[in-house]
Amino acid sequence: MKRIINYIIPFVILVTAFSCSGNVHYTPSMRKAEQIMDTLPDSYKNHGTPYQKLLSYYLLGRVYSDMDHTANAIKYFNKALDVKHVDSTDIYLARTNNIWLKFHILPENSATVYGTAAEIYQSLGNLDLSEYYYKKCYEGINIYSKIHAAALLKDLYASQKSYRNAFIYSDSCQIYTDSLQKETSIENSNLIKSLRTELSIEKENSELHIIIIEILVFAIIFIAIVIFTMRKMYVSNQKMTQKVSKIEKALKLHIRSSEDEIIKRIRELNIQIGTAYKINDELKAKMLSMQKNKEEELLEKSRNQKRFQKKLSEIFMLTEEYKIFNMKGNQDVKSKNICNENWTITYKCLDQNCDLFVNKMYAFYPKITQKELQTCCLIKLGFNNVQISNILNQSQQATTNLRTRLYKKITGKTASADELNKLIFIFPQGIV
């Protein structure tokens, strides 16, 4: 068996040499080596040394690799890697061939494979193969591999004292290094430009987002203001509508409250009630009686209003202010100028004797001016348009215009100045 093994190993080594040199007997030799070496790993499994096991797996992997049996080649290369107690260089060789086999499957790893193979052969002292694989690595397209291979070739030739070649690869190494630096500088410059562009775009987007947010906030505030204003206007209109409704209702009631008209309606109802009883229509008689009671209540209210107005005038006549106002209104030569104190006392008299007239006038129409309030107080106290004009030191037309405008401000409707007098006459009992 040892004789057979000693025969096989040189034969396989010879076959490997044929494969490297491209001998014409390469293919037949591979086939013969395959037939003999299939039995070799089993023989070494029990009898061979670790190095012999590794070598048999490695050489058999090379045979299958050269025959393009990829699966078997990887299988035996991996077995070679698993062998223990062998020199690390031999393991490195098996690993390199495993990488080499993968290189045939993945061409982009060529520079790494060539560089690794060159370093292995250099460590084994095979400078020719090392030089060959360094040059293959140098011929690649990866600039980092070129620089690495050029530097190692320079050292290799320098160690062989081939200074010309060392100088050539030294220059190449410098050229590729400068090119790499230039390329890196350009890439860095482009990267910086790209980053600046991105930052500029990001800044513009940020500013645009801020503008959009500001527009949205402004729009929300504007919409809120519009809604608030519309709601306020709606509430104000509603209040004005209710106020006008109360005024109109009170004025209609006042118009119907003429004592003579009420008495006339009561007489007509008495006649109708008597007729209903004559024809035995009791239901109609009861309904007419209810209507008569309402008219009698209205008559009583009208009389009470007149009595109240008369009493108010009588109370005011007892004050010193009445004398001052009356003399001023009738243009008496002995009349005095009316001061703020006179008006304060007048307001107080009206509040005390007329259900807080002044306070309720302010509440009813908060925008009322001092002159408008004074005009309303004088109307309530029974002064006519001429007297009011003299007291306020203005023309009669100015007083009439003031009354007309004030009525429109309060009700929102245009009417004669007398409508304001009717409103003030029933205020505040019929409205507030």
| pLDDT band with cut points at 50, 70 and 90 for residue 105 | very low
No. of H helices and E strands in the chain? 19, 0
**Residue 282 corresponds to which amino acid?**
E
Query: Residue 40's pLDDT is what?
Result: 66
Give the mean pLDDT of 216-239.
87
More confident residue, 77 or 172: 172
What contacts 347, CB < 8 A, 6 or more positions away? 358, 377
Residue 223 has pLDDT above 90, yes or no: yes
How many angstroms separate the CA atoms of 112 and 140, rounded? 10
More confident residue, 78 or 405: 405
How many angstroms separate the CA atoms of 289 and 286, rounded? 5
| pLDDT band with cut points at 50, 70 and 90 for residue 13 | very low
